[in-house]
Chains A and B, each alone.
Chain A
Amino acid sequence: MKRITTVLMVCAMLLMIGAAALHAQDVDKLNYPKLNPIQIPDVEKVTLPNGMRLYILEDHMLPVFNASVRINVGGYLEPADMIGLAEMTGEVLRTGGTEKWTGDEIDEMLEGVGGSVETSIDRLSGNARVNVLSEYTDLGLEVLAEILRNPTFDADKIDLAKVNQRSGISRRNDDPQQLAIREFLKVIYGPESVYARHAEYKTINAVTREDMVAFHDQWFHPENIQIAVWGDFKSDEIIEKIKQYFGDWEKGNVTVPEPPQVDYDYDQHVYYAEKADVNQSNVLVGHLGGLVTDPDYADRIVMNSIFGGSFGSRMFNNVRSKEGLAYATFGSYTANISYPGVFIGFASTKSETTGKAVKEIVKQVEGMQNNPPTEDEMRMGKDGYLNSFVFNFDNRAEVVNRMMNYDFYDFPEDFLAQEKEKVEKVTPEAVVAAAKRNLHPDKLRVLVVGNKADFEMPLDSLNMGPVTEIDITIPSGEEKNELAITPENLARGAELIEAAAVAHGGTANFAAVKTMNVKAQVTVSTPQGEFPFPIESTDVLPDKSCTIANMMGTKIYDIRDGSKGWKTIAPGQIGEKTEEDILDEKKAQLRDLVWVFSHLKSDPYFQAVYEGPGQLDNKAVEWVTLVDMQSETICRLAFDPATKMVVGRSYWGSGMMGGEGTITESFETYTEAGGIKLPGKVVRNMDGQKMAVMEIQEMTVNGDVSPDLFNEPTL
């Protein structure tokens, strides 16, 4: 009896497993109930009299109010020497406050109710998002309206945006994948293209508050703005509310230029960017991609899925599963609406298999043209798209945002349904034809980011065109003006310096300067506020100096005696000057008017090159660049065209809080002693932000100086 029971149990178990064991082909035999009908919710469209377009969709599942805003603006509209203007405007729009509230007050209000309003400006669009519990719908809408209509671009938050940008630049080569994608876009679209270019220190430094205000004024008008809202509200009520906050915004009249065309010549080329501190290469292979409106877009949906879009795609099966070359791999012929996407095959692989990975990707690209899709692949590509179609409508946010985008681009509302019909008809032949038409396996650009010392083969042996190394060194923000060092400009420069020397008291008086003593008040601007302290500086020309600052009772020394010197390195601690310090001082002599006015003719390494007319603090000036060829330093001087007085200067230097930048000084008053006039009140800015003010209280020329001043200080 016991045996029979056991046998029966085993049979039952076998039967159960047998009944349910699932072969791939058995999946087709499963009987599914009919899918409940896809209810495509109706988006209500409203255009306000001022041209602002609204897209409304009720969603009562949760007590939440959401809005998504599309602004017809983008980084492509910013000048090439101000890359970052759009992105920073997008940030400071939200952080920099409005006429009614400061940015910090907005933070408090929103976080106080667990809500958020965020803004950004990308390459091709501006965006805002609101998410609040529905009981705070009014707050969310009012903050949104204030931000879009009345931003005040607080200077401190512009500083913060610049700190963010500069820090981002300094960190941009740390993550190899981020680096690789950035450089690949440049390889495809060109480094200057609005679809690939990125900020540098220089372009960030060039942006002022006025530029942001002007950028906002120029593009933010109601007819350029679309707002999609979804959530727990009644449509007619939300429309009334939106009218209340945006209805009286006056229509502008500006034509937003279309994003530019892309010029592309297919060629074969290998690019390499060195990242010596990694053991894995990022390999990107491709060329220009296409448009969503291309006639074979549907064929390419299937092609992409088979090529590299999912688990089970050819890239995944071969590069990852079969060859074990990569964890991260994909491939796609991407398409955009307003400009061509890219075709890309990607893998990150250990340094030692870099060449192999390139070859494997190329093989898969070729395979798309030569090996027609199998029946299974067609099922994956086509059925996958068709069976997952319902996920285009499974949440309201997607539906209403899609309607907003379609409307922007004048797409038919049923664009997706049209594409679906086309995908249903795609054949294996059409996929091969699309691959032959769009893919160019013999004209691929390859980008490798990695450490070539460990590659298993040199990149030129790939035989995929010339190999060019991309220099990813982050350029310093220093202005590199192309100086026209012509005899004319040298003569005009010297002439201006001489005229200025006369205006400032005469060359004879400058040549007679033996000692100088200056007592001044310095006020530095820090994030904690203004911070004043006295400073006294004594010079015995040519190479002795002693500067003592008194900061809250602590003396800070800086002493130079010929080739030696000492300085305070920490409170209460004196250290000897290094060679580097001495060299820095040598570089700084171009900023000393006494030195400049007495050395133009006597120093063979010193040149003054006339640049031309320009501006300083919105006043017309003439610029001359002083060049010290020995220390390879420059300092630009600004002259009043009428009086020939020096009214300011600009040079590359370090800030109070670390970091380097362009320092600009404006001379507001002058102090006279010993027959010479020197700047009395100097306002110093770094990259447009106030850094310090120095005001001379007393100046003595050729007075007595104690020689003890230049000894090592004793504390």
Chain B
Amino acid sequence: MKRKATGLMLAALALALTVVPSVSAFDFTEVENQVVEHTLNNGLKVLIVPRHEAPVASFVTWSNVGSVDDPKGYTGLAHMFEHMAFKGTTTLGTKDIDAELKAIALEDSLFMKLRAERNKGMLADSARVAELEEQYNAAREASYELVVPNEFGNVVDREGGVGLNAFTSSDQTVYFFSLPSNKVELWMALESERFLNPVLREMYKERDVVAEERRMRTESNPIGKAIEEFLALSFKAHPYGVPGIGHMSDIMYYSRLEAKAFFEKYYGPSNLTIAVVGDVNPKDVIKLAEKYWGRIPYRPAPERIATVEPKQIGERRMVMEDPAQPVYLAGWHIPEITHPDRTAVDMLMQYLGQGRTSKLYESMIKEKKIAIQVGAFSGFPGDKYATMCLMYAMPSQGHDNYECEEEIFAAVEKAKSELVTPEDLDKMRARAKASFINSIASNNGLAMQLCQAQQYYGDWREMFKQLDDINAVTAEDIQRVANEYLTKDNRVVVMMNTAKS
């Protein structure tokens, strides 16, 4: 019984391997039809999906501003503002708003004087700097005295909010948490107010926190270091090349005034989308949105960035040494997400580097065992503008970046000369479908996806078209984009080799 007849085994295997992805597809239009869309007069877009499985709801505020919008000399400002959006409002987080605003004004004016003096460099008057530092530190502590720390977070916590957080990426800044579904009004009130009357209190203390975040993510982390170098090398004109966390000297330079100006420019209601998914009644949600978010006056949405990364004219390569074990990154310039080639590029990346049966996994991990991790994906660091696709490898012990590079390039060349098989295409379609279904299982996941489609395509419905797009891509399309984009001149390589001690 242990070993069945080989013939039978092969027959069973053949059956199992040819399971045809079913055509009795899940009806996505059912989900699509449940989405309720509403636009306020001030331009704010509201997306709602009622789901009554449990009495909870997830809330997302999706702002069409990311670190790509950081002003020159103020790298990291979008991320800094994200931190400041948790510091409260004129009514939340203060012991006495009038006194506090005065204290804040004094703190700002002293900081501006201090930084102007410091910024003279070698010509700075050190006695003057010391004197200003003393005054500024005193003002900073004085204004802190008037703060009720983290009151915004406290209110969310005690009312039963979970998952309170936010992230800043190159393209967007996203704020989110979930509440019991009877507290929709609480979210509306709290969330709208922080984009109506934010007070950027504790700004200069929070900069130290962000500096620690930079040390943690980038300076003390080998992969973080390699990625920062990769982006800088990839973009010489477009701001995608600037680190989202910001350069340390910029973090220590910017003031509350710049953060406030940034908010004014980018956080107008017409640049925001909010989404509510859960046990809610869309009519009530719209009514509350009108009441609370309607308070924010209309401001025109900022323009897109006009800078276009010039065509790369030769491979860019950087080799660095670090005490850590090796890391390999190779990227190629590809177009933004709305470009017709992108679906084929995304599938090419999946074919090469996603899953246990992808080409890189099979050759580098299973067969040659020269790497313990490999992958390929597109849309790094963002998708709104022309961007990069990225392949990476972590060489296994005793192997190095050069061996990995050889395999990666060989796989790329093969993708250019050979068509992916019909089975591979079927597999990619099946995986896309399954991962799409899994991704909308959670309220928060669905809310985020709707907002993302709304941002990139100006229409959340695009979210439901991605599977059709994937099904329309042919093997020839994938081969064509491989030849068009994965060229040597279009390539950027960063390798971190282990320093000999």
Contacts and interface: CB of A to CB of B under 8 A. Distances in A.
Contacts of A350: 211-212, 215
Nearest to B57: A394
Contact of A349 (B26, B212, B221, B322): B212
A90 interface: no
Given A167-B394, A168-B372, A279-B220, A322 B56 contact: no
Given A278-B220, A317-B150, A395-B54, 7 more contacts: A24-B151, A105-B17, A112-B426, A113-B21, A133-B433, A326-B212, A395-B53
Contacts of B367: 527-528
B182 A280 contact: no
B433 A114 contact: yes
26 contacts: A17-B295, A21-B90, A24-B155, A30-B185, A31-B185, A32-B186, A38-B54, A62-B440, A107-B355, A107-B356, A111-B355, A113-B430, A113-B434, A171-B394, A276-B323, A310-B164, A311-B152, A321-B202, A321-B205, A323-B205, A326-B209, A376-B154, A390-B54, A390-B56, A395-B442, A527-B367
B368 A112 contact: no
A327 B213 contact: yes
B160 A386 contact: yes
A276 to B, nearest CB: 8
A401 interface: no
Interface in A277-333: 277-280, 305, 310-312, 316-317, 320-328
A522 to B, nearest CB: 21
A349 B215 CA distance: 8
Interface string B416-435: 00000001001100111111
Given A27-B159, A133-B434, A170 B397 contact: yes
Given A113-B19, A312-B149, A350-B212, A20 B295 contact: yes
A139 B324 CA distance: 42
B474 interface: no
A472 B192 CA distance: 50
Given A174-B222, A317-B150, A527-B367, A394 B54 contact: yes
Contacts of A166: 396-397
Contacts of B398: 655, 657-660
Nearest to B431: A114
Interface stretch (B8-16, B257-265, B478-486): B8-16
B365 interface: yes
A35 B159 CA distance: 13
B186 A23 contact: no
B150 A390 contact: no
Interface stretch (A377-385, A410-418, A492-500): A377-385
B157 A321 contact: no
Contact of A99 (B2, B193, B441): B2
Interface in A104-159: 104-105, 107-109, 111-115, 131-133, 135-136, 139, 159
B92 A320 contact: no
A114 B432 contact: yes
Interface string B312-330: 0000000000111100000
A21 to B, nearest CB: 5
B117 interface: no
A133 B435 CA distance: 10
Give 6 nearest A-B pairs by CB, closest first.
Answer: A387-B160, A114-B434, A311-B153, A658-B398, A324-B208, A659-B398
Given A108-B17, A112-B19, A388 B182 contact: no
A177 B442 CA distance: 30
A330 B445 CA distance: 26
Contact of A383 (B149, B160, B279, B394): B160
Contact of B437 (A16, A36, A133): A133
Interface in A339-393: 348-350, 376, 379-380, 383-384, 386-391, 393
Given A99-B3, A131-B438, A317-B150, A164 B372 contact: yes
B183 interface: yes
B219 interface: yes
Nearest to B144: A322
A64 B13 CA distance: 24
Given A100-B9, A310-B157, A384-B160, A316 B150 contact: yes
A63 to B, nearest CB: 5
Contact of A312 (B3, B157, B295, B399): B157
A171 B423 CA distance: 37
Nearest to B324: A174
A24 B433 contact: no
Given A311-B164, A321-B149, A22 B357 contact: no
A35 to B, nearest CB: 4
A61 interface: yes
B130 interface: no
B397 A175 contact: no
Contacts of B144: 322
Interface string B97-109: 0000000000000
A485 to B, nearest CB: 32
Interface in A169-203: 169-171, 174-177
Nearest to A133: B434
Bin chain B's interface residue count. Answer: 35 or more
Nearest to B183: A32
A114 B55 CA distance: 31
B301 to A, nearest CB: 22
Contacts of B150: 311-312, 316-317, 321
Contacts of A387: 158-160, 180
Contacts of A693: none
Given A17-B295, A64-B437, A163 B396 contact: yes
Contact of A160 (B152, B162, B365): B365
Contacts of B355: 107, 111
A528 B369 CA distance: 11
Contacts of B427: 111-112
A62 B26 contact: yes
B456 interface: no
A125 to B, nearest CB: 24
A660 B397 CA distance: 9
A352 to B, nearest CB: 11
B116 interface: no
Interface in B178-201: 178, 180-183, 185-186, 189-190, 193, 196-197
Interface string A31-44: 11111111100000
Most buried by B among A31, A35, A327, A659: A327
Nearest to A174: B324
B86 interface: yes
B212 A22 contact: no
Contacts of A170: 325, 397
A302 to B, nearest CB: 12
B33 interface: no
Given A280-B212, A395-B442, A324 B182 contact: no
Contacts of A174: 222, 324-325
B216 A312 contact: no
A393 B157 contact: no
Given A62-B441, A63-B26, A175-B221, A35 B356 contact: no
Contact of B399 (A64, A99, A310, A658): A658
A63 B437 contact: yes
A220 interface: no
A111 B55 contact: no
Contacts of B292: 20
Nearest to B212: A327
Given A109-B17, A113-B19, A657 B399 contact: yes
A12 to B, nearest CB: 11
B16 A139 contact: yes
B124 interface: no
Nearest to A655: B398
B331 interface: no
A87 to B, nearest CB: 14
A570 B26 CA distance: 58
Given A99-B3, A112-B430, A167-B372, A391 B162 contact: yes
